Structure 1
C-alpha cells in the first residue's frame, strides 16, 4: 500500500491569506495574513508584524490560534498576524540582508564571499510605516495602541533600528538574538542618541531583547552586544520606554525562536502581565 493511492492535497492554514505586493520602491514582498474568526473587540484586534514571514508565520498562526481559545487562562487574545516575507519558497531570502541593515558589516563573511546587497533598512522601515501599516489598517479592524514588531537575528537588528529610529511606529518591539555585532559601534551611537530623537516628547513603548542561553558567550559577541544594548536602553524608562532582557535556558540561535514567538504573542495582549517565570530575566 502506498500513500499516493489515497486522496491527498496540500496542507492549508485555514483563515489565512497570501498576497504578492510591490512597494513604491519596487521591492517585492509576500504578505502572509491571519485574521481571527471572531468579532473584533471595540478597539480592534492587536496586530503582530513578523519579519522573515516565510519562516515564522505558520508558528505564529498556530500559537495564537491555540492559545487565544482560552484567553482567560493564557492571557492571549485573538490577534491579526502579518508575516512580512519574500516571493520565494525558501524559509529565508538573501533580500533580508538589504532590508534589515543600514550599511556594511564590520566582519567578513565566513566563506570569504561577498555579502548580499545590504543597507536598505531606512527604505524598508518607510515601506512598513507608510505603505504596509496603512494597507493593513484600511482592511482590518486594528487596535493602533497594540502593534508589535517581531524580528530574529538580522530581523532582531532591524527591530532595534526601527525602535531607535522611529519610536512611535510600534508599541511593542521584540528583538530576538539581534545581530548588533553586524556594526556594533553604529548601533551604540544610535542608542545613545535616542533621547534626542524624542524632541522632549514622552513615548509609550516596550522592548524585549531575547537571547538563547547558548548564545550568551558565542564567538560572534552576540551575547555581550545584547546585554550592552539592554544596559543603554534601560535608563530610558524615564522617557516612556520600558526594556527587558530575557535569556532562554538551553536554547541556541535557531531554537530560541520558538519560545520567543510564544512570548511575543503574550505581549500583543499586555506586556506588563507577561510572566517571566520560565526565563532568566534581567529587567529588575
Structure 2
C-alpha cells in the first residue's frame, strides 16, 4: 500500500502543471560564438566596446585575415553571423575563415552619435571647430594601431598582411582618411557611402599627393568604394528639405569622382573597385556592402 501511495503521488507530481514555478521570462538575446569587452583608451580617454567573432577551426600558419568593422554595435552582428556561417561551410566550400572585430561604444543603441562624430572625422579645415571637440580621426587611428590591434594580436593568431578596415558614412570617411594618410595601416579598405561632403570636401585635398607618391609602399593595396544610387536624388525628384540636403551632398557624384581620381594607381599602388547599388539609400548601402566584405577581406595581397 505504501509503495502504491508513493507511486500515485509521484505520478501526480509529474502530471501536475508547474503552476508554482517562476514564469518564463524574455531574456536579452545572445550573439552566438562572439565575445565582447570594453577598452578604456589612454589616447582619447574614451571607452570603446570591442566585439570579436573568431573562426572555430585552428588558424593557418600565417594567421587569420582580420576584418575591422567600425560602428560595431550596428554592423558587427550581421558580419559575425555571415562569418560564422561561412566557417561552418568551409570544408565543403573551401571558403577561408575570417576573424571579425567590431569597434563600437558601450551604449544600448546602434550608434553613439557624438562619439563617432569626433572619432571618425578629421579636425575641420574649412568649417568652425566644435567647441566641445576633444579628439579627431588621427587620434582614433592611433587607438586602432596602438591599442586595439595589439590587443587582438595578443589574443588571436592574425595575418598581419591581410587586415581590412570597413566603415560606413562617417566611418567610410574615416576609412578613406586612413588610406590617404596612413596607407600601410591596412591592406584592404572598404568605404560604404563615405561622407566625402564633410568639411567642404576637405578629404579630397589629400588625393593628388596620395596619387603622386608611389614610393615606399611595400605592397599593393585594395579599395572597395560603394554607394546607393538612391542617395543622390535627380534634379526632378522634388524639393522638400531632405531631398535638397541629399542633392547638396552629392553622395554618388563624390564617390564616382574619387574613384576616377584613383584610377592612375590601378595595378601599381592601389586597385580600386566601385560598387553602385541600385535602389539603395544611405542605410541600405551598408547592408548590401556587408555582403561583399568577407570575400574582400580574404583576398591575398600583392607585392
Which of 29, 33, 36 lines up with 1:15 in the alignment?
33
Give the deviation of 1:6 after TM superposition: 3.0
Identify the structure with the greater helix proportion: 2
Which of 156, 159, 162 lines up with 2:172 in the alignment?
156
Secondary structure at 1:101 match in 2: coil
Secondary structure at 2:61 match in 1: coil
1:87-236 maps to which residues of 2 (within 5 A)?
87-93=106-112, 94-104=114-124, 117=133, 120-195=136-211, 199-217=215-233, 218-219=246-247, 220-236=249-265
In the aligned structure 2, how far is the partner of 1:202 from the partner of 1:36?
Answer: 29
Secondary structure at 1:91 match in 2: coil
Secondary structure at 1:39 match in 2: coil
CA contact (8 A) 1:154 1:179 kept: yes
Match of 1:41 in 2: 60
Give the deviation of 1:269 after TM superposition: 1.7
When residues 107 and 216 of structure 1 are mapped into structure 2, their CA distance, relative to the original with a 3 A threshold, is: farther
Give me the TM-score of the superposition, normalised by structure 1. 0.85
Which of 265, 268, 280 lines up with 1:239 in the alignment?
268
CA contact (8 A) 2:225 2:259 kept: yes
1:30 equivalenced with 2:49 (yes/no)? yes
When residues 73 and 212 of structure 1 are mapped into structure 2, their CA distance, relative to the original with a 3 A threshold, is: farther
CA contact (8 A) 2:49 2:106 kept: yes
Give the deviation of 1:51 after TM superposition: 0.3
CA contact (8 A) 2:121 2:137 kept: yes
Give the deviation of 1:12 after TM superposition: 0.8
When residues 151 and 75 of structure 1 are mapped into structure 2, their CA distance, relative to the original with a 3 A threshold, is: farther
Structure 1, 65-74 or 237-246: larger mean CA deviation: 65-74
CA contact (8 A) 1:50 1:150 kept: yes
CA contact (8 A) 1:52 1:151 kept: yes
Residue deviations 1:199-226, cap 9 Å, x none?
Answer: 4445321001101121144412111111
Give the deviation of 1:198 after TM superposition: 5.1
When residues 119 and 177 of structure 1 are mapped into structure 2, their CA distance, relative to the original with a 3 A threshold, is: farther
Aligned residues: 264
Return the index of the structure with the highest Cα Rg: 2
**RMSD (CA atoms):** 2.5
Q: Any stretches of 5+ residues in structure 2 without a counterpart?
A: 1-21, 234-245
Q: Any stretches of 5+ residues in structure 1 without a counterpart?
A: 109-113, 273-284
In the aligned structure 2, how far is the partner of 1:192 from the partner of 1:50?
Answer: 27
Give the deviation of 1:255 after TM superposition: 1.1
In the aligned structure 2, how far is the partner of 1:240 from the partner of 1:202?
Answer: 9
Give the deviation of 1:241 after TM superposition: 0.6
Give me the TM-score of the superposition, normalised by structure 2. 0.80
Which of 56, 63, 67 lines up with 2:75 in the alignment?
56
Give the deviation of 1:48 after TM superposition: 0.6
When residues 187 and 33 of structure 1 are mapped into structure 2, their CA distance, relative to the original with a 3 A threshold, is: same
